[in-house]
Amino acid sequence: MQPNLSDILSHVPEDLRKLIVRKTFLPGEFIVRKGENAKRVYIMLKGSTRVSNEFVSGQRYTFATLKAGQVIGDLEVLAHQPVYSATNEAITSCDVLAMSDDTFIRWFREDSDFAFIVAEQLAAKMYPTSDENGRIKFQPSLERLYQYLLKRLGNVQTDLFILHTSRRHRHERQDRQPWRREAQRARPHPPRPRQDHHGQRTAETAPGSLGAHGIK
């Protein structure tokens, strides 16, 4: 039978219990931020968080949510990485157990049931990424765009989709349409200059129009 996290928490090794504190994060507060030193590990007791990657441009890509029973910071600490790889922001009020990276490692080594839960959660986090990476590298660009939009807009009920293309692509598309080329050829051209009997250049006019020497 799979161990339950609530049971595990009630059996925290006595020497570690005093090193673990309970904290509350309000909606909108950051539990960890990408790029910060990965010196703390958090176990979610209540609430949910938004997991995202932030970029220099200010854009943010949200790719997961965490809920009660899940662990934050375990990946970085077990992989011996110095900084957090993603941002965790509280969606609702979140109660967590907070501990140092050293305390987490000691607990992981001393309690096999706890280690099993953490390993299982890490496997669940990493499998989709591993499976997706193998497919994405060989997908055409439009297929990758489709998969991305499907994830982000999967719940939107609409049959309307507008894709903006670059100016170069629009010109290439127009060049493939013969009727556009014919219409461009049929456009009137500006009058061609000609020389009169004095050698002066004048605009060529149609018969019956007003030219330089009156009505012709």
The amino acid at 34: K
pLDDT, greater one: 61 or 203: 61
Quick check: 114 and 39 in contact, CB under 8 A? no
What's the confidence (pLDDT) of residue 88? 95
Q: Where are the domains of the chain?
A: 5-153
CATH of domain 5-153: 2.60.120.10
Per-residue pLDDT averaged across 4-22, rounded? 82
Which pLDDT value is given to residue 109?
93
pLDDT for 75 beyond 80: yes
Q: Rounded to an integer, what distance in angstroms lies between the CA atom of residue 124 and that of residue 115?
A: 14
Residue 61's pLDDT is 84
Cβ count within 10 A of residue 80: 8
pTM of the predicted model, to two decimals?
0.60
Average pLDDT of the residues in 61-85: 92
Put residue 130 in one of left, alpha, beta given phi > 0 → left and psi -120 to 50 → alpha. alpha
Region of 38 (left: φ > 0; alpha: ψ -120 to 50; beta: rest) is beta
Mean pLDDT of the chain: 75
pLDDT confidence of residue 139:
63
Task: List helix spans (H) across the chain.
Answer: 5-9, 14-17, 74-78, 101-110, 112-136, 141-153, 167-175, 178-186
